[in-house]
Amino acid sequence: MTSRTRLRSAATFFAAMLPAVVVAGCSGVEGTRLSIYAASSLTEAFEELSVLFARTHPAASLSTTTAGSQVLRTQIEQGAPADVFASANPEHMEALVAAGLASDARVFAYNELVIVVPLDNPAGIDSFEDLPNARRLVLGTPNVPVGRYARQALAAADSLVRPGFVEAVLDGLVSEESNVRLARSKVELGEADAAIVYRTDAASSDRVRTVAIPPEVNVRAEYLIGALERADRSPLAEAWIELVLSAEGRAVLERHGFDIE
- Strand-pair category, 173-177 with 137-140: parallel
pLDDT tier for residue 159 given thresholds of 50, 70 and 90: confident
**So what's the pLDDT on residue 20?**
29
Look at residue 18 in the predicted model and tell me its pLDDT: 29
Q: Are 228 and 173 in contact (CB under 8 A)?
A: no
The contacts of residue 190 (CB under 8 Å, 6+ apart) are 118
Domain at 33-110+222-255, CATH class: alpha beta
Q: Report the run of H or E that residue 171 belongs to, with start and end.
A: none
| Mean pLDDT value across residues 119-130 | 98
Residues of the chain with CATH 3.40.190.10: 33-110+222-255, 111-220
CA 22 → CA 16, 19, 28, 56, distances in Å?
Answer: 11, 5, 11, 19
Q: What is the DSSP letter of 41?
A: G
CATH superfamily of the domain spanning 111-220: Periplasmic binding protein-like II (3.40.190.10)
